[in-house]
Amino acid sequence: MTLVTIAQASATTGVSAKMIRHYESIGLIKPPLRTENRYRHYAESDLHDLGFIRRSRDLGFSFEDIRQLLDLWRNKARSSAEVKAIALRHIKELDEKAAALAGMSRTLQSLAASCHGDKRPDCPILEALDHSIRGNP
């Protein structure tokens, strides 16, 4: 059983030491072993969990989602339907957020396209912010 310090755990999992401590404080990971100096020492299974968490975060899952996903991962009697349901709901949220951002971008692009962008003060972008555009409340 290889034990590593928090800095090494951070280096191998890509999770900052700050965040590792935070995950512990909110109960997302188990408190690790401590040496007699009270230094945290992580075992391989801890490193696995941290990697799991980092990859989940990379996919945009919230801590609450990750909590459930980790539980499911540990539960050998899980049903894949439960995992899939979490993923599908998350995909929906991601798509909604992306669509919202894309909508803003589209609106701004069309405004910017008709803005001269020179020394003159006239600007359809400011006009749009000035009074609401019909169709874009």
Site residues, its own copies (CB under 8 A): 48, 51-52, 55-56, 58-60, 69, 72-73, 75-81, 83-85, 87-88, 90-91, 94-95, 97-98, 101-102, 104-105, 107-109, 111-112, 115-123, 125-126, 128-132
Residue 63 binding: pick among DNA, its own copies, none (C-beta 5-8 Å cut-off by kind): DNA
Rounded CA gap, 17 and 8, in Å?
9
Name 65's Cβ contacts closer than 8 Å, sequence gap at least 6: 56, 86, 90
Considering the rule CB under 7 A, would residue 6 count as an interface residue with DNA?
A: yes
Q: Beta partners for 34?
A: 40
**Shorter beta-carbon distance to DNA: residue 16 or 45:** 16
For residue 128, the minimal CB distance to its own copies (Å) is: 7
Give alpha helix (H) positions in 14-135.
17-25, 44-58, 63-74, 80-113, 124-130
Nearer Cβ to its own copies (38/131): 131
The least distance separating DNA from the CB of residue 63, rounded to whole angstroms, comes to: 4
- Smallest gap, in angstroms, from Cβ of residue 133 to DNA? 19
Q: How far is CA 124 from CA 14, 106, 109, 118, 135, in A?
A: 45, 14, 11, 13, 15
